[in-house]
Amino acid sequence: MAKYDDNGIGSEPGRRRRGEQVATRLPMRHEDWEPMRGIRLVAILLKAVAVILVLVMLAQIYLTLTDPSGMPVTPGTIMGEAVRLLAFAALLWGGADLALMLTRTHHETRAMRILLQRQNNLLSKILRGERKMGKGPE
């Protein structure tokens, strides 16, 4: 297994740190490596709201079951509200994961664009005769 193989194991900050370590060894313009903090903050916000909704669901179930007024509430009503809140929380959590996945995809696409641009420049130099095929990197 490769040293920097990203197989999904580990935390997001750990992957980011490894990516930055690899990126510092490559010659790259600053514009090519732009952080996407806004999307990460939105993902954190969506996950926080999802957790709050689950807590609200649990509080609503508890308060409904321990209501001293004796108002008759059917179990179906409680379950309906709980499922609605839980489904919305799951939708928010999935949206946060989707935002993080799009961030990673954006970085991979940007890296591929940089690689293809470098290969195109190298091939242009070789075809113009400015560089030999067996010569190492500049």
Structure tokens at 29: 């313009």
Please write the tens of the pLDDT for every residue from 52-102.
999 999 999 888 888 878 777 888 888 999 999 999 999 999 999 998 888
The closest of 119, 117, 136 to 29, measured between CA atoms, is: 117
Q: What is the pLDDT of residue 35?
A: 64
The pLDDT mean for the chain works out to 79
Which position has the higher pLDDT, 67 or 15? 67
Angle between helical axes of 37-65 and 75-128 (0-180°, round to 10): 170
Share of the chain above pLDDT 90, in %: 25
Can you tell me whether residue 25 is helix, strand or coil? coil
Structure tokens at 107: 């970085």
Determine the straight-line distance between the first and last CA of the chain, rounded to whole angstroms.
29
Residues contacting 85, CB < 8 A, separation 6+: 53, 54, 56, 57, 60
Q: What is the pLDDT of residue 95?
A: 93
Which position has the higher pLDDT, 19 or 68? 68
pLDDT band at residue 2 under the 50/70/90 scheme: very low
Q: What is the pLDDT of residue 26?
A: 59
